[in-house]
Chains A and B, each alone.
Chain A
Amino acid sequence: QLQLQESGPGLVRPSETLSLTCAVSGDSISNSFYYWGWIRQPPGKGLEWIGNIYHTGSTYKNPSLESRVTISLDTSKNQFSLNLNSVTAADTAVYYCASLERFSGAFDFWGQGTVVIVSS
């Protein structure tokens, strides 16, 4: 069974770059059955899809965030990463990484989430 774990700074200053990593265990991120995704949830609000990456390196992003988002793979460490630049207070949220099973198109395994606060 897949396990995912987010890590990264809990506090980011406005205008800087938010950087998070998701460590995957239980399978290889090179497994073609999965896409690897990032989802966020502002305090008291619903879920927002940020983007996905496939083992080929192809990325798919939410159009509302696309210009600020970079998602990458590190196969040597079996992990993938999120960079979100030019952050503002509106980017304060719980950030989740998750696996998206290729045939169901649903996020079947999730990390526990990591809180990121944007503040000076």
Chain B
Amino acid sequence: EIVLAQSPATLSLSPGERATLSCRASQSVSSYLAWYQQKPGQAPRLLIYDASNRATGIPARFSGSGSGTDFTLTISSLEPEDFAVYYCQQRGNWPQLTFGGGTKVEIK
């Protein structure tokens, strides 16, 4: 099983600041990594797939990078609606899928 470790667990930032979230895989997943945003009481929303492709309707301030075992989700300038929990998910070990433990982005 491929384990995804997300860091930090919590990120405290102010609106307008840049957020950098990390996801590290226990073995290579190539570029087969997705990112999701989840707000309280809501289902997750797909942001990024295949490491760097924004899903339909996702603002350009969200970007993804990385390959192999190290991946980054960057939010260039935090909007109030971006404070949420973010999860990564791999399909590099298809058909077995795993999610990371999540990073909470909270208002400082």
A43 interface residue, CB < 8 Å from B?
Answer: no
Q: Does A48 contact B (CB under 8 A)?
A: yes
Most buried by A among B32, B34, B87, B95: B95
On chain A, the number of residues with a Cβ less than 8 Å from chain B's Cβ atoms is 21
Contact residues, A97-119 vs B (CB, 8 A):
98, 101, 104-108, 110-113
Q: Are A47 and B99 in contact (CB under 8 A)?
A: yes
Contact B49 A106 (CB under 8 A): yes
Residues of B within 8 A of A26 (CB): none
A117 shortest CB reach to chain B, Å: 16
Residue in A48, A98, A106, A108 with the greatest tally of chain B CB atoms within 10 Å: A106
Chain B residue at minimal CB-CB distance from A52: B95
The answer to whether residues A107 and B32 also contact, given A48-B99, A49-B98 and a CB cut-off of 8 A, is no
Contact mask B13-54 → A, CB, 8 Å, 1/0? 000000000000000000010101010001111100110010
B1 at the A/B interface (Cβ < 8 Å)?
yes
Interface presence of B89 (CB below 8 A): yes
Contact B87 A106 (CB under 8 A): no
Give the total number of A-B pairs whose CB atoms are below 8 A apart: 63
Q: CB within 8 Å of B: which of A35-54? A: 39, 46-49, 52
Query: Is the C-beta of A25 less than 8 angstroms from some C-beta in chain B?
Result: no
CA distance A96 to B99 in the complex (A): 14
Q: How far is the CA of A106 from the CA of B47 in the complex (A)?
A: 10
Which residues of the other chain, A, contact B98 by a CB distance below 8 angstroms?
49
Contact B99 A49 (CB under 8 A): yes
Binding site for A on B (CB under 8 A): 1, 32, 34, 36, 38, 42-46, 49-50, 53, 55, 87, 89, 91, 94-102
List the 5 closest A-B pairs by CB distance, nearest first: A105-B91, A60-B95, A110-B43, A106-B34, A106-B49
